[in-house]
Structure 1
């Protein structure tokens, strides 16, 4: 009996928001992700001007496509669209920075017990794999990737909490914290210490919600305390930031 040929593996479907216009929307998402990741890795500092013409040249697309990506970034407070000046990476003030960290502590205070309640063995495995990736970036001396992975660990916690509203809030807060750290960090230290992440997962795995929540709050407070609010860093070019 002749065996039938095996069908080719299916390509995972993209989210509904990315499938309306194949090609154009894909590049729009690509631009969004490139800027978002550059912010998360602190390669794209606050105050950097995002010229539409530069994006058009880099991605070979129209200004309409670029503007869609920039509008999404502005909606998430990652960039600012200024009349007659175009788009720039947002530059949070010291007061705004304190408010963002206060909001993040409040949100993550709710996320930790939800993860303990809802996360099973598979979820804990994902967390440990995320920590392993942080370790690898650390030992490879890849600071931008290390910083990005630190933020993604917190986003993974929000996902595993099972509350889509909190997850959406965290996506904005983590990106805004990355902006704040890029602007005011004293230098050297990462956004998150991976050993604290490991300790946090151990506490959650043991069901020690109160201790895990306390650790999360002190972890975030330590990051804020390290910042030198009021002393912004220098700017880099858009092409240089996105090349990473």
Structure 2
């Protein structure tokens, strides 16, 4: 059982929010593969909470499109067809374009500094060949860029797109591909800092295209040990 007491105090997130973040991070880091069954009983045992709390977490993840809940079958990490993957990437292009345009107008110096630190951390993870951490930091960079726009709706859409794209990468990208350099992220951030919206939009478009170019059909394993996955945190 994972103890959550150290993660919580009166000024910190609620228990279900902590568990939500843990599961969301496991999806971003691709430790939870598409199709993995998310048993309420098993997760309740893993985190030491009731099924009611786990059900609330799973329903929130379902709302974001990263978990599927079926009557009489329970919950599992969402599977995405090849056609759905293409549709998600088209949608992400549109969302990322809106985010970049807004960021060029609204981003603050402290936001740029925070994003630069994320790029440095991502590069360190790549050099250490820590694929899971590098992927999580890459997703976090896109999420924080969206949050820097000051538009909660863009941020919410970005969270959904990043998590779905993480699932798509887990399902369709082979690990034969090397981890990406942070050069693309750095170039996008530089263009945003210089308020060059045309360049920033073009760089982001190419960045998403490069992600799509690495995708191939594959059969991910859905038989995973939930206790082992979250014990790694």
- TM-score, L = length of structure 2: 0.90
Partner residue in 1 for 2:170: 182
The alpha carbon displacement at 1:140 in A equals 2.4
Total equivalences in the alignment:
223
Is 1:232 aligned to 2:211, yes or no? no
Find out whether 1:206 has 2:173 as its counterpart.
no
| Pairing 1:47-126 to 2, within 5 Å after superposition | 47-126=35-114
Contact 1:109 1:213 (8 Å CA) reproduced: yes
The range that moved more, 172-181 or 139-148, is 139-148
Q: Tell me if the contact between 1:158 and 1:166 (Cα under 8 Å) persists in the aligned partners.
A: yes
The worse-fitting range, judged by mean Cα deviation, of 181-190 and 74-83 is 181-190
How far off is 1:117 after superposition? Answer: 1.1
Question: Counterpart in 2 of 1:36?
Answer: 24
Secondary structure at the residue paired with 1:155? helix
Which of 138, 147, 153 pairs up with 1:150? Answer: 138
CA contact (8 A) 1:143 1:190 kept: no
The Cα offsets for residues 180-233 of structure 1, whole Å up to 9 and x where unpaired, read as 1101112244775411101111112222211111110011011112101x3232
Alpha-carbon contact 2:25-2:136 (below 8 Å) kept: yes
Q: CA deviation digits over 1:36-84, x for unaligned, max 9?
A: 1000000100000011111121122211111111111111111111111
How far apart in 2 are the matches of 1:201 and 1:43? Answer: 28
- SS of residue paired to 1:233: coil
| Residue aligning to 2:5 | none
The reply on whether 1:141 has 2:113 as its aligned counterpart is no
| Contact in 1 for aligned 2:93/2:208 (Cα 8 Å) | yes
The answer to whether the Cα contact below 8 Å between 1:150 and 1:191 also exists between their aligned partners in 2 is no
Bigger radius of gyration among the two: 1
Q: Deviations along 1:114-148, whole A, 9 cap, x unmatched?
A: 11111122121111111111112122222111100
Structure 2 unaligned blocks of 5 or more: 1-8
> Structure 1: where are the runs of 5+ without partners?
1-10, 19-25
